[in-house]
Amino acid sequence: MKITSTAVAGTLESSDVYVKVEPCDALEISIESVVYNQFAEEIEASVKNVLNEMGVESGKISINDKGAIDCVIQARVETAIKRAGGNK
């Protein structure tokens, strides 16, 4: 899937994550998290898993995490990508 427009998913509530995806020639992932010290690797792995599964090779992915668990991160990333997936 290709990211053709800017889209967001999620909220900035505690235990949720706010995901923003934008078109970009390269793949850029930025992660900000209240539990970065404790769970940086897990968060990055969750994001990359979804990108791989959905065949996303490029795009700017911005994660602002407020302590979401992995399944929530994956769902939010998937939703943001689908919203940005050029269905218009």
Partner 1 sequence: MSKLVESIKKAVELVELKDGMTISFHHHMRNGDFVLNMVMEAIAELGIKDLTVNASSVFDVHEPIIGHIKNGVVTGIECNYMGAKVGKAICEGIMEKPVVFRTHGGRPSDMEKGTSVIDVAFIAAPTADDMGNCTGKVGKSACGSMGYAFADAMNAKKVVVITDNLVQYPLNDFSISEVYVDYVVAVDQIGDPKGIVSGTTKITRDPVGLKMASYAAKVIDASGLLKDGFSFQTGAGGATLATAKYVQDMMLERGIKGSYGMGGITKYMVEMLNNGCFQALLDVQCFDLDAVESIRSNPRHMEVSATHYAGVSGKSAGVDNLDVVLLGATQVDVDFNVNVHTDSNGYIMGGSGGHSDTAAGSKLAIIIAPLSRARLPLVVDRCLCTTTPGSTIDVVVTQRGIAVNTKYGKNKELKEKLIAAKLPVCEIEDLKAMAEELCGVPKAVKLTDKVVANILYRDGTLLDTIKAVK
Strands 7-10 and 27-33: unpaired
State how far the Cα of 31 lies from the Cα of 40, in Å rounded to an integer. Answer: 8
In the complex, what is the shortest distance from the CB of residue 41 to partner 1, in angstroms, rounded to a whole number?
Answer: 8
Q: Which of residues 25-84 bind partner 1 (CB under 8 A)?
A: 34-35, 37-39, 42, 66-70
Q: Which of 24, 69 has the CB closer to partner 1?
A: 69
Size of the site for partner 1 (CB under 8 A): 13
Q: What are phi and psi of 17, to 5 degrees?
A: -140, 145
* Residue 24 vs 35, nearer CB to partner 1: 35
Q: Is 18 in the site for partner 1 (CB under 8 A)?
A: no
15 binds partner 1 (CB under 8 A): yes
